[in-house]
Amino acid sequence: MLNPSLLVPPDVANVEVRVAPVGIALFGSITTKEPDRSLGVFFRKVHEAALAESLTELAVDVRGLSFVNSSAIRLFIDWAIWVSQPGRPTYRLRFVRNPSVTWQRVSFPAIAQLAAAHVVIEDGK
């Protein structure tokens, strides 16, 4: 289980990150110029915490993210690559999406193709 008190999300305009023992949930929109410097660093910490805790699965709930730019999509691509490194310990990365939101419906199947054995897409309500 993740320890939310050890994973303090960065302060990024228009986006809220909530940490739970089973993963994270994102709300708002991500349109900053270099989200890799803030959210990307935080996602990496969550990834490392999941490995340290030997989690078998981690949820990233994006249903509350109404809009993102391509630099933000890139963060999810990076995460899919982190969990699919051959020969390293890993876990299943479960993206929970709302398929009625266009960017979520279209982009997550493409992300899952990059790491089919380690990434799961769940359609939430």
Partner 1 sequence: MAEQREPTPPERPLVLMRFRPVWTYIDGVREFCRFFCQTTFKTSDLAERASVVIQETLENAVKYSTQGDDAELELRIQNHGEQIEFSVSSLPDPRHLSTLREELSSIASQTPEEAYVAAFLRAATEPDASSRLGLARIRHEGRAELSLEEEPGGRIRITATGTLC
| Contact positions vs partner 1 (CB under 8 A) | 14, 29, 31, 33, 67, 69-71, 73-74, 77-78, 80-81, 102-103, 106-107, 110-111, 113-114
Tokens of 6: 């050890």
Instruction: Please state whether beta strands 57-68 and 23-30 pair in parallel, antiparallel, or not at all (unpaired).
Output: parallel
Q: How far apart (Å, rounded) are the C-alpha atoms in residues 48 and 46?
A: 5
CB of 77 to partner 1, least distance (A): 5
Nearer to partner 1, 22 or 29 (CB): 29
* Cα–Cα dist 96/18, whole Å: 14
Question: Residue 111 Cβ, how far from partner 1 at the closest point, in Å?
Answer: 7
Smallest distance from the beta carbon of 19 to partner 1, in angstroms? 25
The alpha carbon of 124 is separated from its chain's Cα centroid by a whole number of angstroms, namely 15
